[in-house]
Amino acid sequence: MITINSFYSQLLNLKEGNGSTMHAYQGKLSLVISGEFHSKFSFNLHPCLLQVFDLYGVGLRQGFSTPNLLKELNFKIGKLSTGDSLDLSSHDEEAIMANDATVKDIEGAAVAYVADFCKVPVIFVKAVTDIVDGDKPTAEEFLQNLAAVTSALDQAIAQIVDFINGKSISEL
């Protein structure tokens, strides 16, 4: 995930350590440690029972397109779904399947919403920590892979910073 340091910058501040982790499905990704960009972000927070407010936790945002960056660095691209739980609830699973998401996290939609609200381009850089529909307990697999995933993210962020350096947004 790329953080916003200034609402006035043309490009979101990207630096090592700003990547984020996610959870993937067995049949949709082949590697547990994988750099991945996300072009679409859906969110499916647990439903609120109050009318009008029930729509607050559901939506879709479009990320910033970076075809040259993707081609140069050979990253995968996918559709990210944000829920509000580390574990997969039945509500989350229904929403994720309905949106044909490849991965899920618990923070992406909030960042995408703020970036969209502030009219600031956003790209997400994430790596898989655990397999949602795998055999291992989520927390166990997450902790087992966290160090390796963090290292992979740092390397990916460094490559992205090197690629972006000196380029305009249209060159990404």
Q: For the segment 24-50, what is each residue's pLDDT rounded down to a tens digit?
A: 555 454 333 334 444 455 555 555 556
Buried b (16+ CB within 10 A) or exposed e, 64-84: bebeebbeebebeebbbbbbe
Domain count for the chain, please give it: 1
Domain that holds residue 72: 20-171
Q: Is residue 91 part of a domain?
A: yes
Could you give the dihedral angle defined by the CA atoms of residues 114, 142, 32 and 110, in that order, rounded to the nearest 10 degrees?
Answer: -10
Mean pLDDT of 51-79: 76
d(CA 10, CA 167): 11
Total-model pTM: 0.67
Q: Is residue 88 part of a domain?
A: yes
Q: How confident is the model at residue 68 (pLDDT cuts 50, 70, 90)?
A: very high
For residue 91, give the CATH number of its domain: 3.40.50.1580
Q: Is residue 7 part of a domain?
A: no
Q: Which two tokens stand for residue 96?
A: 């994720």
Q: Is residue 2 part of a domain?
A: no
Q: Is residue 4 part of a domain?
A: no
Q: Is residue 133 part of a domain?
A: yes
